[in-house]
Each structure stands twice: as structure tokens, then as C-alpha cells.
Structure 1
Amino acid sequence: MSSPMFNDMEAALEELRAQQKRIKEAKEQAEKETTSFRTKDRMITATVDHKQRLTELKLSGSRYRSMAPDELASRIVEAVQSAQDEAAKKSTDAFAKLQPTASGFQLGDMFNGNFDLDRMFDEAVRMAEAPLFPEDAKKNAKNQEADTDGK
């Protein structure tokens, strides 16, 4: 017969694995996303991938040909940065609602390459399985040793 605490633990672990699945699915979806930004004058369009890397740059019309090189470069940089900022916001918004509380990581880790989903969940499981009060666990271990020695 299972105890209520065991049932609660099983339910918590099931929810944890379900959350892990939701995060993996969101990550896979995000990896397919691209974000484009077009300047107000529609002259420059910058497209970035889910890691905010520039994947495409389009110059429309012919006005850019008469611009000073520094001005054109500045406008391109501005368009690329706007696309990157928009992509970062989209990703952050998508994952913020999935972020477990007290997970030990910052949401930005997911986007800068320092995020390890499996390690995060393994740590959560380890913490869930650990005694709530380490002092009590030590006392119980000592009591068990004493019982074993006395037999």
C-alpha cells in the first residue's frame, strides 16, 4: 500500500516530467523561428534566427546607393539590432510562462548557450528525493547504525 506522501511525490515527479516535455517542445518550436525587422522606409530588412544570428539582409530600392557608407552601415546595424531585440523578446516571452519557479537558472541562460534542460530536471529530482531536513537524516542514519550494532 502506498503512503499519501509517496503518492504526492509520484504526482510531483509526473508534473515535473510533463513540464520538461512542454519546455522541450517550446524550445524545438523556438529553434524553427526567424524574426525580421523592416525599417520604416522599407529600405532595409534584417532577418535573424532563434539565436539572434543574422541570416538575411535585404536592401530594397536604390536610395541606399546614394547614401554615405557610414550612414548606410549605421542603418544596417540599427535594423539588425532591432531584429535581434525583437527575437530575444519573442523567445523570452514564450519561455517565461514555462519557467519553473526556483529552478536555479536564469531565463537568459537558455538563449546564450549555458542552459542544460536535462541537468536542471535531474537537479530538481535530486532535490525532491533528498531529505527535507538533513539533520534528521543524519540522526536516522545514526539510529539505524545503533540498531544494527545492538543486534
Structure 2
Amino acid sequence: MSSPMFDELEAALEELRSQQKRIREAQQEAEQETTSFRTKDRMISAVVDHKLRLTELKLSGSRYRSLAPAELASRIVEAVQAAQDEAAKKSMDVFTKLAPTASGPQFGEVLNTEFDLDRMFEEAVRLAQTPLFPEDVKQSEKNEEAESDGK
């Protein structure tokens, strides 16, 4: 026989696991994305991956040869930054559809850092299983002592 509190905890843990699955699927979707950007004059194209790293850079035609080195470098930087901005927006869109409205802006922090999704959820489960009241902690300690004495 289970108590209403236990049933609520089980439902909350099931919802947590369901959210974990949706987030993992979104993360996999985002990791498969690459983003391309081509300048208006089609002279420079840049491709970045889901972590905003440059994976490809192409110079088309021969007009770039007539540019001053500083101007060519500046145009390359602009193309790469435009590709990175677009990729960041794509990633943000994938994750914000999962988040409550108030949490949306916080995803930028997640996307720009390495994070351990499993560790985050395991910590949430651990906290959910932690007794809420001091009496529960005392009873839990007594139960553990009784179990260790019985072994």
C-alpha cells in the first residue's frame, strides 16, 4: 500500500525522467546542426557546428585577392560571427521550446558551457529523496542503524 505522498513523489520523479528524455532529444538535435553563412557578394562562406566552432571557410572567385589583408580579415570575421550568431539562435530555439517562459534566457548559459545533464538530473533525484523534516532525518538514521545492527 502506498501513501499519497509516495505517489506524488513517484509522479514527480516520472515527470523528471520524462523531461530529461525531452532535453536529451533536444540536445541530440542541436548537436547534429551546422549553420552556413554566405556574404551578400558570395565571396566568403563560413560553416559552424553546434558549439559555434568554425568547421569550414571558403573564399569564392578571385576578388578577395584584390582586398587589403586587413579588409579581407575583417570580412572573414564578420562572416564567421554571423554564422555563429545564427547557430546560437537555432540552438536557443531548440531548447526554449522546452522551457517555461520565465526560464528561457537562462538557456544561453547552458549553451555556452559544458554541462553534465545526467549529473544535473541525478542531483535533482537525490534532493527529491532527501527528507524534508528533521523528524524524518532522525527516523531515517534510526532505520539505518537498525539495518546495520541486524547485518
Q: Name the structure 2 match of 1:80.
A: 80
Q: Name the structure 2 match of 1:118.
A: 118
Q: Which stretches of structure 1, 4 residues or more, deviate above 4 A after TM superposition?
A: 138-142
- Offset, 1:115: 0.4
8 Å Cα contact 1:109-1:115 kept in structure 2: no
Secondary structure at the counterpart of residue 61 of structure 1: coil
Q: What's the TM-score, normalizing by structure 1?
A: 0.80
Which amino acid letter does the alignment assign opposite residue 48 of structure 1? V
Looking at structure 2, the residues matched to 140 and 125 of structure 1 have their Cα atoms a distance apart, in angstroms, of 20
Which amino acid letter does the alignment assign opposite residue 84 of structure 1? Q
Secondary structure at the counterpart of residue 46 of structure 1: strand
Percent identity between the aligned chains?
A: 72
Looking at structure 1, the residues matched to 131 and 100 of structure 2 have their Cα atoms a distance apart, in angstroms, of 21
Which amino acid letter does the alignment assign opposite residue 25 of structure 1? E
Secondary structure at the counterpart of residue 35 of structure 1: strand
8 Å Cα contact 2:38-2:79 kept in structure 1: yes
1:2-151 superposed matches below 5 A: 2-99=2-99, 107-133=107-133, 135-138=134-137, 140=139
Higher mean alpha-carbon deviation, 117-126 vs 39-48, is at 39-48
Looking at structure 1, the residues matched to 110 and 137 of structure 2 have their Cα atoms a distance apart, in angstroms, of 37
Provide Cα deviations, 1:45-94, integer angstroms capped at 9, x if missing partner: 10001111111111122221111111001100110011111111211221
Alignment RMSD (CA, Å): 2.6
Looking at structure 2, the residues matched to 127 and 141 of structure 1 have their Cα atoms a distance apart, in angstroms, of 15
Looking at structure 2, the residues matched to 49 and 71 of structure 1 have their Cα atoms a distance apart, in angstroms, of 25
Alignment gaps of 5+ in structure 2: 147-151
Secondary structure at the counterpart of residue 14 of structure 1: helix
Task: Classify 1:141/1:33 alpha carbon distance in 2 versus 1 (closer, same or farther; 3 Å).
Answer: closer
Looking at structure 2, the residues matched to 71 and 33 of structure 1 have their Cα atoms a distance apart, in angstroms, of 30
Looking at structure 2, the residues matched to 31 and 20 of structure 1 have their Cα atoms a distance apart, in angstroms, of 16
Q: What's the TM-score, normalizing by structure 2?
A: 0.80
Which amino acid letter does the alignment assign opposite residue 73 of structure 1? A
